Structure 1
């Protein structure tokens, strides 16, 4: 590598550092909240999660019968339905918050005013991060019920990625524009965990759960809407961190591809074989 190459690399490095310094935000209050002050608690949680679902759990269950945890799952799925419903309600019934979010769907609030409303928005964002951590128990229950085939790459990647992305956003981005995806995601999780709750009631409920395929369908629609929204943020030159925007676009496109593949393998191929 000659001096010109070093110059180009150094220039690119400086540009990236400049972008990071310009786009990353800090806040003494938010950054002191639980899980926000340091990346290590989240990192440790994810490492324990991966170790358990991929190695420790399967080894522990190898010579054991599946755990009978029907009541635990019913309670968990019911609480998840209520929790995600609460996240939705929090956004729409908090005075001034819906208008605040709508007014900043393109340009984030940099005025320094409406600190109370801004604090409410960041509070619900923290609850959203917490919900993604709680979601990890989905996989733990798969392992304890000896349904290791459900622990697919798509499932694990989705859960781990959501925790990391939501944490990084609240810790470093703190943008009101994330509300669009968060609201849609919470709505879908209300439907999803309601489905899981009904399914956990027993086999007699299966005839009433014909709408399972549509649950995957609305998840796919969610990704498409988010891609359109992110492209809009870029096309209309909204003040959204460009590095994070490109990361989110690539991430959601990957999710869309994997969910479409799952949908095709689960429903289209199954229908052709019937």
Structure 2
């Protein structure tokens, strides 16, 4: 018992010391005081989409969520465009070099704008959990894959640390790219939700996956340059996290691309029987 109390006390002390290095500007923002509230949210999300939700829906008819999904997807498109603009104006088109861009911890308007944009991006990851919840409520359980759930779980968890300790600088490049990709991706989802009349406009699904792959190649290449030259980035551990993230998702999306398109399991029907309807998988 004494050993357990000592271990707990040491863990609390280490946690307190660790938080002393955090960015004081973001301390009082929603969900930023501690990583534990978001951990509970993420755990509840995983439990619902992997266990509770499918069990609740097992003997029920799928929900008709066409209208909510249209509104949701177009809203994400608009929000992603806004985030792209904010990331550009707070750094990436306004002073950043795409090289060793350090975090500006000052209270200047531009530095605070970047920090707030990082928080908005972080919070958007919780909103995007609705992707999976919609799948469960519509009984599209085949879409609830490891890749999907892992992506929606790990992003908010890692970005808490990004916003709390390193809200800006070169570590936000992948967020900018991700927002650009989301404009394209959620436009596709929104058009798909509009119904069969719009399926003929969705021939570019395969290329959307290619764009996602290019995103992870660019992320890995951007981070990779800092392992080959000196860069006094304030929290270099985040470079390793982002680099690992880029490589892991590059591998996972390559695996998806191979099974979905190279093996032809999810090719659009235009390539299978000559008509212009996509296989309905959303």
Q: Report the TM-score when normalising by structure 2.
A: 0.82
**Aligned equivalent of 1:127:** 120
Question: After the TM superposition, which parts of structure 1 deviate over 4 Å for at least 4 consecutive aligned residues?
Answer: 271-274
**Aligned equivalent of 2:238:** 244
**Aligned equivalent of 1:99:** 94
Q: Distance in 2 between matches of 1:233 and 1:84?
A: 28
Contact map agreement 1:139 1:151 (CA 8 A) in 2: yes
Q: Distance in 2 between matches of 1:268 and 1:104?
A: 34
Q: Secondary structure at the match of 2:61?
A: coil
Q: Distance in 2 between matches of 1:113 and 1:133?
A: 28
Residue of 175, 178, 199 corresponding to 1:182: 175
Q: How many residues align?
A: 252
**Residue correspondence of structure 1 range 1-274 to structure 2 within 5 A:** 25-93=21-89, 98-100=93-95, 102-103=96-97, 105-109=99-103, 115-240=108-233, 241-270=235-264
Q: Report the TM-score when normalising by structure 1.
A: 0.85
Q: Deviations over 1:228-262 (max 9, x none)?
A: 11111221222233322222222221111110010
Q: Per chain length, whose mean CA-contact separation is higher, i.e. which structure has more relative contact order (CA < 8 Å, sep 6+)?
A: 1
CA shift in 2, pair 1:97/1:235, >3 Å? closer
Q: Distance in 2 between matches of 1:114 and 1:209?
A: 45
CA shift in 2, pair 1:250/1:24, >3 Å? farther
Q: C-alpha root-mean-square deviation of aligned residues, in Å?
A: 2.4
How many Å apart are 1:133 and its aligned residue?
1.1
How many Å apart are 1:113 and its aligned residue?
5.4
How many Å apart are 1:171 and its aligned residue?
1.2
CA shift in 2, pair 1:66/1:174, >3 Å? same
Gaps of at least 5 residues in structure 2 are: 1-13, 273-282
How many Å apart are 1:55 and its aligned residue?
0.9
Contact map agreement 2:88 2:94 (CA 8 A) in 1: no
Gaps of at least 5 residues in structure 1 are: 1-16
